[in-house]
């Protein structure tokens, strides 16, 4: 393939990933990993390296572009990061083990399963304001907060609970991130929303910055193992930054909904493809 064409294709993949990533909160990795490993036949270690780095770009690119950061809860996010960073280190080391022992099929299958698991919550509907009593961990970890909800036009106060359980799930989320090169944003949102009882908007915004911190931890190890190829990731990252900027700011809500539905279908197809490749069918 002509070099320039290859570069442009990678750029376009990046833009799509950044766009979808900031729109759905899924992180660009779910687009990049399959696009590179299935369609461009990039070795899977390099594909996961590119996907993980792109996750940082989605996180920082979108955060730099918009105001959502004010809604995120820095304390809760940072305290949960203890778990995700530790998990990411373990996950990245596991990935090294898998690749060096020719067990890559595990990655394909797990990736497909994780994506399938991830699309399910994005189909879930409304966020009912749950009134739950603060527990001991609320006080210890200072998990109170408030934000101004533009839709409801009022300030919403909340308390997070069950920090310990949330932290445990975060360790798993970190491990998945380090192992598969994804952001694990959906699992993080799920933990904060369902387990720790935070408002959905807060969970989503907090997860958006968390995935970047988790991804950089895994990326550092990936870099030392040579999974991140500069000439491969360069156009992808630039594309993701562009895509994340437009995805976060410029879309009307109506169009967002329809796009989300289309992407859900695409992702399900992609997930199945990955699993099939893993079990040796394609």
Partner 1 sequence: MKKRDMNVVISWILKAGVIASAGLLIIGMLLAYSGINSISIYDTVFESLGVFALFATPVARVATSVAAFAIEGNKIYTAITAIVLMNILIAIFVVPAVLHI
Q: Does 216 bind partner 1 (CB under 8 A)?
A: yes
Residues within window 58-117 making contact with partner 1, judged by CB under 8 A: 59-61, 63-64, 69-70, 74-75, 78-79, 81-82, 85-86, 88-89, 92-93, 96
Among residues 180, 213, 271, 274, the one that binds partner 1 under rule CB under 8 A = 213
Among residues 129, 136, 140, 269, the one that binds partner 1 under rule CB under 8 A = 140
**Closer residue to partner 1, CB minimum distance, 29 or 241:** 241
**Closer residue to partner 1, CB minimum distance, 54 or 275:** 54
Degrees, nearest 5: CA angle 136-148-185: 65
**Closer residue to partner 1, CB minimum distance, 27 or 112:** 27
Q: What is the 3-state secondary structure (H, E, C) of the chain?
A: CCHHHHHHHHHHHHHHHHHHHHHHCCCCHHHHHHHHHHHCCCCHHHHHHHHHHHHHHHHHHHHHHCHHHHCCCHHHHHHHHHHHHHHHHHHHHHHHHHHHCCCHHHHHHHHHHHHHHHHHHHHCCCCCCCCCCCCHHHHHCCCEEEEEECCCCEEEEEECCCHHHHHHHHHHHHHHHHHHCCCCHHHHHHHHHHHCCCCHHHHHHHHHHHHHHHHHHHHHHHHHCCCCCHHHHHHHHHHHHHHHHHHHHCCCHHHHHHHHHHHHHHHHHHHHHHHHHHCCCC
Among residues 120, 129, 142, 261, the one that binds partner 1 under rule CB under 8 A = 142
Instruction: Provide the 10 A C-beta neighbour count for residue 7.
Output: 17
**Closer residue to partner 1, CB minimum distance, 127 or 226:** 226
Residues near partner 1 (CB under 8 A), total: 51
Q: Does 57 bind partner 1 (CB under 8 A)?
A: yes
Q: Does 184 bind partner 1 (CB under 8 A)?
A: no
**Closer residue to partner 1, CB minimum distance, 1 or 4:** 4
**Closer residue to partner 1, CB minimum distance, 222 or 263:** 222
Q: Does 220 bind partner 1 (CB under 8 A)?
A: yes
Q: Does 274 bind partner 1 (CB under 8 A)?
A: no
Residue that is written with structure tokens 């796009």 in the block? 259
Contact residues for partner 1, defined by CB under 8 A: 3-4, 7, 53, 56-57, 59-61, 63-64, 69-70, 74-75, 78-79, 81-82, 85-86, 88-89, 92-93, 96, 140-142, 209, 212-213, 215-221, 223-225, 228, 230-231, 233-235, 237-238, 241
């Amino acid at each position: 393939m002509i070099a320039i064409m290859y570069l442009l294709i990678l750029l376009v993949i990046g833009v799509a990933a950044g766009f979808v990533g900031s729109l759905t909160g899924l992180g660009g990795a779910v687009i990049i990993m399959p696009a590179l490993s299935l369609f461009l036949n990039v070795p899977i270690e390099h594909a996961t390296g590119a996907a993980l780095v792109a996750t940082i770009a989605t996180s920082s690119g979108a955060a730099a572009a918009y105001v959502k950061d004010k809604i995120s809860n820095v304390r809760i996010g940072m305290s949960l990061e203890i778990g995700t960073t530790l998990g990411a280190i373990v996950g990245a080391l596991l990935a090294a083990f898998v690749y060096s022992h020719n067990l890559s099929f595990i990655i394909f299958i797990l990736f497909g399963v994780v994506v399938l698991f991830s699309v399910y919550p994005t189909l879930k509907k409304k966020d009912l304001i749950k009134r739950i009593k603060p527990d001991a961990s609320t006080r210890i970890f200072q998990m109170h907060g408030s934000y101004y909800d533009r839709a409801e036009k009022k300030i919403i106060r909340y308390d997070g609970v069950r920090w310990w359980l949330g932290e445990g799930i975060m360790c798993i989320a970190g491990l998945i991130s380090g192992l598969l090169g994804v952001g694990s944003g959906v699992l993080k949102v799920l933990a904060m929303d369902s387990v720790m009882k935070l408002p959905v908007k807060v969970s989503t915004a907090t997860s958006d910055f968390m995935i970047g911190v988790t991804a950089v931890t895994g990326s550092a190890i990936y870099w030392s193992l040579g999974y991140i190829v500069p000439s491969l990731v360069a156009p992808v990252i630039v594309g993701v930054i562009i895509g994340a900027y437009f995805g976060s700011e410029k879309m009307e809500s109506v169009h967002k909904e329809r796009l989300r539905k289309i992407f859900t279908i695409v992702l399900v197809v992609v997930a199945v493809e990955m699993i099939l490749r893993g079990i040796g069918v394609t």
